[in-house]
Structure 1
């Protein structure tokens, strides 16, 4: 990443790395569900290293069989970079989602509004899911400098004998504030215990 002085001129570069380890908890109650994502953050910016905690809270209301409304509060918390306290950008998101089901696949569409300290931004995206676990995703959203787009794919295994589902996902994001390309890979395990 490039260093920029107070007059806006470039004067070198520095490394920026960030990683997180998270735990996701959630529950469903008829037409209402809620969840929390707890994260331990670690980061390096140039010669500075830091760590901290953050949390996201969210809920979804099922308004009809095919229509949902969601609300999320993101980045509650922060971290310290050496002796400097860094607040994460608190964000409120609200959105609607539509799910269209066919005999062999599902189509999901979503429209989100996001409000943070910079302004209000919009997102629109879609996902195709076949019943064998393959997924394709595409989306576009507004950012301060214009538009950002993303493409992704993923795969989920059928539920295992002990109730777990493995997920593997990849996404590519282009455009945005930094004008760089971002590649994301994630591997996950969903487990829903049977309390009956």
Structure 2
């Protein structure tokens, strides 16, 4: 009501001045869906956010079953994975922005790549640390930090895919995360 609708100003003012995008939704949908970058970023976000949702769905059971601890205690330990969202996602976005100041888009992509690589390495370490509760919690926190930061770094790249259809691209990428979770859960936890 009292704020601006976007970084360029109020929608009605922009429309009156002829500065607002006049494309229809179908046109924007075509622009976004025909850009291969939209699909690549959606798949990579699916690898990151999809894994996050899958781990959040299962990690408490893992702690309970592997370490034979009470479900409430397992839930407390499992919450460390989700709590990293409080700061790590923002750090991924900040890292992306910082790298872009010096290296441009290549910097953003390298930050995202390194975080995805860390995500994979700590996921493997987490799976192999079932001998020690302390090591498992440590790797859970490190894995989660990389997962959340990679999610933030992803959305540091999204605005550069298509300025014209940014909202549609953002929607496709977000849906890619949910699809990644469905695929991951079907691949690893089929009944």
Query: Bigger relative contact order, structure 1 or 2, given CA contacts below 8 A and separation 6+?
Result: 2
| TM-score scaled by length of structure 2 | 0.21
Instruction: Give the helix-richer structure, 1 or 2.
Output: 2
Instruction: Give the strand-richer structure, 1 or 2.
Output: 1
| TM-score scaled by length of structure 1 | 0.21
